Amino acid sequence: MYANPDAQKELNKCSLPENSSHFRSPSSALGIGKVISVSGPESGADDDVAFESAFGAIESRISCSEETLGVMEESQKQLIELIGRNEEKRLAIQGLWSQIEGLKKENRALLERNSKLMERQMRTTGSVNRTQSSSRPRSTGKSWEKENLLFVWAAQGFLFPSGLELLKCGENCCTGAVPPLVSTKSAIINACNHSTQRCSSLSRNMQSPSLTWAWRGILIVSVTLFQMCCSRELDANFSLQDRILRLPGQPQVSFQQFSGYITVDELKGRALFYYFAEAEFDPSTKPLVLWLNGGPGCSSVGVGAFSENGPFRPKGEVLVTNEYSWNKEANMLYLETPAGVGFSYSRDSSFYEGVNDRMTARDNLIFLQRWFTRFPHYKSRDLYIAGESYAGHYVPQLAKLMVEFNNKEKIFNLKGIALGNPVLEFSTDFNSRAEFFWSHGLISDSTYKIFTSACNYSRYVGEYYRGSLSPVCQRVMSQVTRETSRFVDKYDVTLDVCISSVLAQSAVLSPHQVTEHVDVCVEDETVSYLNRKDVQDSLHAHLSGVTKWTVCSSVLDYEVLNLEIPTINVVGSIVKAGIPVLVYSGDQDSVIPLTGSRTLVQKLAKEIGLKTTVPYRVWFEGEQVGGWTQVYGDILSFATIRGASHEAPFSQPERSLVLFRAFLQGRPLPETFT
């Protein structure tokens, strides 16, 4: 029931006879149009009387409905005041209210456009003469919205045979303003039922043979508008099921978070898990960024969201705020891909055998299409895709599919891609390790010589994964490993290793290791947090086919030799399609060193005929050098982040945020102290 007991009395005063069963089919706007117009156009002396009668009935229902909605809104305010001391519920209500107000604003714009359409239709049909038009106040603004709301209510008899479906849409469309709360659902159902009964009766009257074609047209267009409204509302309610009220140990925040599953293959039962943090300020004006970590097979939630550029980082039993979170600049969407990574799963475990880049790109595309169905208000936003490491394969391949899809039906508003320390071309990227080790003093001159002549790194990795490791490569790599030491973090050669996890660190830093990991100290915190039952419940996550959540998949058998497939040419096709590309490198990473990435970007610019528009120069973060940058054709950019590791946002968060902000805004990196 309502917080205000007068609500039910008001609803009862407005109720009409309940017999509306025959008014529940057909179930589409087209079908409704056929039912209403089946008798063809009518004319006669009764037209004016029918018009005035129908219009008067509408106005009386509007007045009654206004009273009901007013009482319900007042009840909602009282309810908010009653639970205002409960911070968690208050934030939940505020979030719902904000989302509904945004949808109402969109609906008002649609209603005004619809008003103009209907006025043109009335003039065309001539069913309303000039005298009637001049004696009747023009329906615009709020009055038009009220009239249209009654037609929308009338259409509910056709579209919603069940109370549950009525509730899903009625929470916003029917009641007009009241945010859905568990404690008021029964009252909302009552309100919607009363509204449906009133308007069903009204609409039966409007099926009179003497009803003019203009009013039939109005009802048809109104029902179409209703379908548009409620498709958004159903999707919005579905997204609300994914809303995170609060993560365990989380500090107070002003932005909304969502997480859950999107099914990408119903037949095989394959679903991908996502975590979505809306922008901290003005999310409705900020772009959408899809973030992908690499591996292949490592978690964008565990690495990206909770260790790098997300809003929080685990620390013991709690989460601490990341003051350089990328959701300060964008709405951040993190995807665990492919199935088998993190909380993502496949009911058919045979999928995990031989997953490749093509399969991953296809599932990622399906995910995004269906995610937009759940969050339709983000579909028109500027979209960026960013990622690091093996995402040098994931991101360009997904972007390429989007471009191809847009050539047939434009649904992706792709504005750019950003690649951090990416694998773009196997030989160039991996063989640049020798020079990095040598220039940083990690190997001797003699070892550098044999590492670049007798057996380079790309040859070693290729032989290792094919199970055909030659004696010479075995000998060279043993010498490299001995000199570099297993206990120097190859992802950041300046970083001290985590003493408490020496054995785990040793495993991570094995010479054939090509998958992505963060510092083990940080990784331990993330693994511990995401394996808590209360955390998984808050995330709407569950484990499937595994006993614990891991940073990188223990069940996925990825086609590692996809490493040898170059994607720099795919990046070129993205640039040719007019989409800006940023390649950036943490300059302390020896796994994918900056020298290889810089060489590949320079080569690509030359191949596609891009001239240098910003010569190689320093850029600044505050009063310090943030790194170096070069731009080609104002569309292809390369930048380094000084002092950063393989996971640049983890080790240099402030400089990474400066770079990210400049990329989204399409501005050059700062040339002077700021």
Which residues are known to be catalytic? Answer: 389, 589, 646
Q: Is 611 helix (H, G, I), strand (E, B) or coil?
A: coil
Q: Which strand (E) or helix (H) includes residue 4?
A: none
Instruction: Give the separation between CA 468 and CA 448, rounded to whole angstroms.
Output: 23
Which residue type occupies 463? E
Q: Among 192, 149, 175, which residue's Cα sits nearest to residue 59?
A: 149
Instruction: Give the separation between CA 360 and CA 446, rounded to whole angstroms.
Output: 42
Q: How many other CB atoms sit within 10 Å of the CB of residue 116?
A: 11
Q: b/e string for 216-251 if b means 16 or more Cβ within 10 A?
A: bbbbbbbbbbbbebbebbbbbbebbebbbeebbbbe
Residue 422 · residue 583 · CB < 8 Å: yes
Q: How many other CB atoms sit within 10 Å of the CB of residue 647?
A: 28
Q: Among 420, 446, 296, which residue's Cα sits nearest to residue 357?
A: 296
Q: Among 77, 81, 107, which residue's Cα sits nearest to residue 7?
A: 77
Residue 355 · residue 559 · CB < 8 Å: yes
Residue 434 · residue 406 · CB < 8 Å: no
Cα-Cα-Cα-Cα torsion 67, 69, 73, 75, nearest 10 degrees, comes to 70
Query: What are the angstrom distances between the C-alpha of 549 and each of 302, 352, 523?
Result: 9, 16, 12
Which 3-state string (H, E, C) describes 15-38? Answer: CCCCCCHHHCCCCCHHHHHHHHHC
Q: Among 592, 520, 515, which residue's Cα sits nearest to residue 554?
A: 515
Q: Among 245, 244, 250, which residue's Cα sits nearest to residue 315?
A: 250
Q: Which two tokens stand for residue 179?
A: 């945010």
Q: How many other CB atoms sit within 10 Å of the CB of residue 209?
A: 10
Instruction: Give the separation between CA 470 and CA 372, rounded to whole angstroms.
Output: 50
Q: Which strand (E) or helix (H) includes residue 492?
A: none
Query: What are the angstrom distances between the C-alpha of 376 and each of 46, 399, 420?
Result: 45, 20, 29
310: DSSP letter? S
Residue 303 · residue 342 · CB < 8 Å: no
Tell me the pairing of strands 636-641 and 243-244.
unpaired
Which residue type occupies 3? A
Q: How many other CB atoms sit within 10 Å of the CB of residue 564?
A: 14
Q: Which two tokens stand for residue 210?
A: 């003497």
Any idea how long the chain is? 674
Q: Which strand (E) or helix (H) includes residue 408?
A: helix 391-408
Instruction: Give the separation between CA 450 and CA 567, rounded to whole angstroms.
Output: 28
Q: Which two tokens stand for residue 597?
A: 């990435």
142: DSSP letter? H
Partners of 265 in beta bridges: 270
Instruction: Give the separation between CA 484 and CA 537, rounded to whole angstroms.
Output: 43
